[in-house]
A = this chain, B = another copy of it.
Amino acid sequence: MITLTEENYIKAIYHLSKHGKEMVSTNALAEAMSTKASSATDMVKKLAEKNYVDYKKYQGAILTESGSTIAINVIRKHRLWEVFLVDKLHFSWDEVHELAEQLEHIKSQKLIDKLDAFLGHPTHDPHGDPIPDKHGDFTFIDKITLAQAQINATYKCVGVNDSSSEFLQYLNNNKIELGTKIEVLHKEAFDSSIKIKVNELEMVVSNSVAQNLYIQKT
C-alpha cells in the first residue's frame, strides 16, 4: 500500500521531471516538498525499493512505469476535483488548488470514474491544464504564452502557467478568464510589457504576466 506522503513525492517527481522522463535531483525534490535534502534522500530510497523510481546515488531519481502511472492518476484526480469544485460548487479558480491537494488522495477508482462522467468527461481543468483520461493519455492543446504573441493578432486565453492564487486573482481583477478574447496591440521594447485589449478595454501587462498566460489563435 502506498502512503499519502509517498504519493505526494511521486507527484512532485513527476512535475519536476517535466512529464516524467528526466532525472530529478534530491535538492530540487526537497525544495518542492518543503523539506530537507536528507528527507528527500530517505524517501527516494524507499520509493526505489518499492520500484516507483530508479535511483542512482548522487545522480537523482526518475519515475518507473509504475511510478508514472501513479503520478498521472493523482494528477487526474486532482484536476477532476478542481472541475467539480468550480463547475458544480462554484468555487473560484484561485481557491481550488489546496482543496484538490486533499481530494486527490481519496482512493476509489469507481469514484473517479463516476465523478468524471458526472462532470461530462472534461479534458481540461479550470486553469487550462489537461486532464489525463482513464488510460493516462493527455489532450495537449496548441498554445503559446502571451509573451510570444504576434502584434495585431487576436487570441483567446486557454490556460495559465503560474496558477498561484495571486496570479489568478490578478486575472480575476482584470476580467481575464479561460476563453477571454485578447487582442495584442503593442510590445514595449524596453521592458517587454505588452499592450492588449480585453473586454473592450486597453491595458498593459508586464512581461512576467505575459510569460504566465497561455493563449491560442482564434
Contact = CB atoms under 8 A, between A and B. Distances in A.
Interface in A112-140: 114-115, 118
Interface residues of A, number: 17
Which applies to chain A's interface (DSSP): helix, strand, loop or mixed? helix
B114 A99 contact: no
Interface stretch (A84-92, A143-151, A163-171): A84-92
Nearest to A115: B89
Contacts of A111: 85, 89, 99
B102 A114 contact: no
Contact of A102 (B85, B99, B106, B115): B106
A89 B111 CA distance: 8
Interface string A80-114: 00000100111100010001001100111011001
Contacts of A91: 110, 114
Contacts of A118: 88-89
Contacts of A88: 118
Contacts of A110: 91, 95
Nearest to A117: B89
Nearest to A107: B102
A96 to B, nearest CB: 10
17 contacts: A85-B111, A88-B118, A89-B111, A89-B114, A89-B115, A89-B118, A90-B114, A91-B110, A91-B114, A95-B110, A99-B106, A99-B108, A99-B111, A102-B106, A102-B107, A102-B108, A103-B106
7 smallest A-B Cβ distances: which pairs?
Answer: A89-B114, A102-B106, A99-B108, A89-B118, A99-B111, A88-B118, A103-B106
Given A85-B111, A99-B111, A103-B106, 11 more contacts: A88-B118, A89-B111, A89-B118, A90-B114, A91-B110, A95-B110, A99-B106, A99-B108, A102-B106, A102-B107, A102-B108
